[in-house]
Amino acid sequence: MYLLKYILYSVLNTVTVAVASHKCSFYPRKAPSSCSSSVFRIFFGPAATPRSRACGLSEMRSLASSPTAPTPAPSGLGASSDRPRGGGADGNYISQATARPWTSCPSSSRGGPRGLHFPECRGRADLVLPTPPGPGAWLGTQPAPEAALRAGVATMGDPRGTRRILVTGGSGLVGRAIQKVVEDGARLPGEDWVFVSSKDADLTDAAQTRALFQQVQPTHVIHLAAMVGGLFRNIKYNLDFWRKNIHINDNVLHSAFEVGVRKVVSCLSTCIFPDKTTYPIDETMIHNGPPHSSNFGYSYAKRMIDVQNRAYFQQHGCTFTAVIPTNVFGPHDNFSIEDGHVLPGLIHKVHLAKSSGSALTVWGTGRPRRQFIYSLDLARLFIWALREYDEVEPIILSVGEEDEVSVQEAAEAVVEAMDFHGEVTFDTTKSDGQFKKTASNAKLRAYLPDFRFTPFKQAVKETCAWFTDNYEQARK
């Protein structure tokens, strides 16, 4: 038997074979860590952990250090009936921190990003499955239950302990909305939510970002932190938007990888889509051409999150994904007239015009069209994506195409909500920006056909009321 092992190893040691069906290469003198080949598993045991940390490794550390963690099987145990029976081909229970929490198949039977689909992975989940009665967990290389396939590596229903969810940009518009939804009853047992802002760490600094992640030790991350602004701020500071967001995103994703985060959901924007395109836009069209020139710095920086997510998946098997919301608004927005987005800027303008008895001036022609999504609706969808959405490819979170409104219609909704009766004019010397960014939410509807968005006028009314009640404290 040992002679047979030696002969097989010698043969494999001289030839590098790329096995596309297993996403695996047999490198000389080294058992591949990402190999799912049963040949390597049977003859040489489980694949070794790579030098770089694997996504989800912190989960293995907690398993190994827990009081109920299984002890390693004696080295003399073979395939006898005394051997613990796990889900892996070798039956070994995970008993030490160096165990990998998956082999090489994507965490969902839907496959991975476009171009990274592996047919042999359908109907199976190479992930750490919840254990049956009794201690221990195993490498799931056997066909997994449908529930496990839906949950994937990053399942939030995992019963093995506390899920610590770190939310970057936690004091911003979407972060505060998620916090409210969680506090209002969306928190699940075993979830520990940590909301951080720039006061806690400068995420453009790699050392500070790494220190934050090492301190919090999150299992899941919602990444919202970004340098953001409205049309005119983007036009003025394209370079700053590029550099700062590139640093933030790279630091966050790599720190998440280093501490073994199981899943990251980042926030993109529909402004990343090509300026010249067909409508409606969908998730497959992100990289089909340059974005609008008014905000190309921010747009390209956000596009790179998608590139990094795919690369972390391809090289390390990480479940890093992103959502693409349309124009978000709601309580805790930035209501700055100069630097804010169109709707909060309009709300602030109407408030001032009403207070002073002056006319309301809307910048631009009022003709550009937008799909607006209420921040509380987006918060609910973010939580769903964190728990249930297991594709690496992004997903658009938006109201339907039929709910798109013009800037003029948005201004009229604000005027109505704030009971403004003054004159309304349009300053056509100001830029309109991109005329439209109509996005399809067909993919979202395929997952959540019954999700109900807050009606636009109701959401505007609630936001206006919040701004009026919190005028002194609101960002403006």
- pLDDT (tens digit, 9 = 90+) per residue, 46-98? 333 333 455 765 444 433 333 333 333 333 323 333 322 223 222 222 222 22
Model pLDDT, residue 434: 79
pLDDT at position 162 is 84
Mean pLDDT of the chain: 74
For tokens 């550009």, name the residue.
368
Residue 173: its pLDDT value, please? 95
The yes-or-no answer on residue 312 being catalytic is no
pLDDT (0 to 100) of residue 110: 36
Give residue 408's identity as a one-letter amino acid code.
Q
> Which pLDDT belongs to residue 371?
95
Asked whether the bond before 280 is cis by omega within 30 degrees of 0, the reply is: yes
What pLDDT, on a 0 to 100 scale, did the predictor assign at position 54?
Answer: 59
- Predicted confidence at residue 246, as pLDDT, reads 98
Tens of pLDDT, residues 325-347: 999 999 999 998 887 788 999 99
Q: Based on the number of CB atoms within 10 Å of its own CB, is 94 exposed (0-12), middle (13-18) or buried (19 or more)?
A: buried
Angle at 116 between CA 46 and CA 93, to 5 degrees: 20
Q: Is the CB of residue 307 less than 8 Å from the CB of residue 393?
A: no
Q: Report the pLDDT value the prediction gives residue 199, as an integer from 0 to 100.
A: 94
Per-residue pLDDT at 436: 85
**DSSP code of 438?**
-
The closest alpha carbon to 403, from 374, 434, 435, belongs to 374
Spans of the chain, pLDDT less than 50? 2-3, 5-52, 58-160
Catalytic residue among 6, 27, 237, 298: 298
Q: 83-86, long-range: CB within 8 Å, 24+ apart, which pairs?
A: 84/136, 86/136, 86/138, 86/139
CA distances from 195 to 174, 179, 442 (A): 11, 8, 31
